[in-house]
Amino acid sequence: MKATRLSLLAGLTLLGNLAFGQYYYLTDSGNTPGGLNQDPAYPAGGGQVAGWNSILGPSVGTPTWSADQTIPFTFEFNGTPVTSYKVSSTGVLTFSTGATAVPGSTPSALPSASIPDNSVCVWGLEATGSNDNVSTKTFGSAGSQQEWIHFSSCTNGSISWSYWSIVLEEGTNDIYIVDQRNTSGTGALSVGIQIDGTTAISDPASPSVDATAGTDFTSADDFYYRFIYGSQPQNEVELMSFDILSYIGTGGIDIMGTVKNLGSDPITALSVTWDDGSGPNQDNITGLNIQPNQTYQFTSPTQLNSVAGSSYTIDLNATITGDADLTNNDIQVSTVALTQIPTKYVVGEEKTGTWCGWCPRGAVGLANMESVSEFIGIAIHNGDPMTIAAYDSGINTYIPGGYPGGGVDRVLEGNPSASNFLYMHNERVGATVPCDVKNLSAVYDPAAGNITVSGESEWYGSVSGNYRFSCVIVEDDVMGTGSDWGQENYYSGEPAGTMQFPSGVNGGFDFSTAGSSVNPADFGGYDHVARYLSDDDILGDAGSLPSGSVPLGVHSHTFDPIPANVVNDLNKAHAVVMIVNADNGEILNAYKTAITGGNIGINEIENAIEMKLYPNPANDIVHVSFTLENASDVEITLTDAMGNTVMNSSASMNVGSQYATFDASALANGVYFVNIVVDGNVVTERLSVTH
403 and 466: one domain? Answer: yes
d(CA 229, CA 545) in angstroms, rounded, equals: 50
Q: Cα 650 from chain centroid? A: 44
Q: How far apart are CA 391 and CA 230, in angstroms?
A: 50
Q: Which residues pair with 554 in a beta bridge?
A: 458
SS3 letters across 420-485: HHHHHHHHHHCCCCCECCEEEEEEEECCCCEEEEEEEEEECCCEECCEEEEEEEEECCECCCCHHH
In angstroms, the CA 609 to CA 629 distance is 7
Packing angle of the helix pair 418-429, 360-369 (nearest 10 deg): 50
pLDDT tens digits for range 422-460: 999 999 999 999 999 999 999 999 888 999 999 999 999
Tell whether 315 and 350 lie within a shared domain: no
CATH number of the domain enclosing 481:
2.60.40.10
pLDDT of residue 604: 40
**Considering 277, 306, 337, which residue would you say is the last residue of a domain?**
337
Asked whether residue 556 is assigned to any structural domain, the reply reads yes
Flag whether 261 is in a domain. yes
Nearest to 236 by CA among 530, 481, 17: 17
595-639 confidence digits (pLDDT tens): 988 656 433 443 446 677 878 888 889 888 887 777 888 888 888
Assess whether 129 and 158 both reside in one domain.
yes
Looking at residue 6, its pLDDT comes to: 33
pLDDT reading at 640 higher than 80: no
Q: Report d(CA 402, CA 379) in Å as an integer.
A: 15
Residues 35, 36, 41, 47, Cα dihedral to 10°: 140
CB 96 within 8 A of CB 116: yes
Lowest mean pLDDT among 15-29, 387-401, 613-627: 15-29
- The answer on 409 and 323 residing in a single domain is no
Q: What pLDDT score was predicted for residue 94?
A: 99
* Confidence check: pLDDT of 21 > 50: no
Report residue 16's pLDDT band, with 50, 70 and 90 as the boundaries. very low
pLDDT digits (tens, 9 = 90+) for 417-429: 999 999 999 999 9
List pLDDT tens digits, range 649-676.
Answer: 888 888 777 888 888 888 888 778 888 8
Of 391 and 609, more confident: 391
Q: For position 609, what pLDDT does the model report?
A: 62
Q: Each residue of 154-204: pLDDT tens digit?
A: 999 999 999 999 999 999 999 999 999 999 999 999 999 999 999 999 999
Cα(274)–Cα(186) distance, rounded to whole angstroms? 46
Q: Are residues 558 and 620 in the same domain?
A: no
Report the pLDDT averaged over residues 401-414: 93
User: Considering the domain boundaries, does residue 14 fall inside one?
Assistant: no
Residue-level pLDDT at 300: 95
Query: What CATH number is given to the structural domain containing 634?
Result: 2.60.40.1930
Inform me whether the pLDDT recorded for 10 exceeds 50.
Answer: no
CA distance 354 to 526: 10
Give the pLDDT confidence score for residue 89 in this predicted structure.
98
- Tell whether 12 is covered by a domain: no
Output the pLDDT for position 5. 37
Using the 3D structure, point to which of 534, 560, 594 is the last residue of a domain. 594
Determine the Cα angle at 568 with ends 565 and 569, to 5°.
110
Of the residues 294, 311, 337, the one at which a domain ends: 337
Residues 130, 244 share a domain: no
List pLDDT tens digits, range 313-361: 999 999 999 999 999 999 999 999 999 999 999 999 999 999 999 999 9
Structure confidence at residue 3 (pLDDT): 35
Are 312 and 397 in the same domain? no
CA 163 from centre of chain? 21
15: helix, coil or strand? helix
* Co-location of 420 and 328 in the same domain: no
Q: Reply yes or no on whether the pLDDT at 641 is more than 90.
A: no
Residue predicted with more confidence, 658 or 561? 561
**For residue 611, what pLDDT is reported?**
77
Which neighbouring-strand residues pair with 653? 632
How much is the pLDDT for 330?
Answer: 98
Statement to judge: residues 266 and 360 lie in one domain = no
Residue range 473-499: mean pLDDT, rounded:
93
Render pLDDT for 212-257 as a digit per residue (tens, 0 to 9).
Answer: 999 988 898 999 999 999 999 999 999 999 999 999 999 999 999 9
Instruction: Spell out the SS3 assignment of 23-68.
Output: EEEEEEECCCHHHCCCCCCCCCCCCCCCCCEEEECCCCCCCCECCC
Number of domains in the chain: 4
- Of all residues in the chain, the percent with pLDDT exceeding 70 is 94
Residues 505 and 646 both lie in one domain? no
Q: What is the distance between the alpha carbons of residues 319 and 325, in angstroms, rounded to a whole number?
A: 9
**What does pLDDT average to over the chain?**
91
- Written in H, E and C, the secondary structure of 79-141 is CEEEEEEEEECCCEEECCCCCCCCCCCCCCCCCCCCCCCCEEEEECEECCCCCCEEEEEEECC
Tell me: pLDDT of 274 over 90. yes
Minimum mean pLDDT range among 34-43, 61-70, 125-134, 523-532? 34-43
In this structure, are 30 and 178 located in the same domain?
yes
pLDDT of res. 555: 98
User: Is 264 domain-assigned?
Assistant: yes
Whole-structure pTM value = 0.71
The domain of 642 spans: 611-689
The count of C-alpha atoms lying within 13 angstroms of the C-alpha of 645, restricted to the half-sphere facing its C-beta, is 9
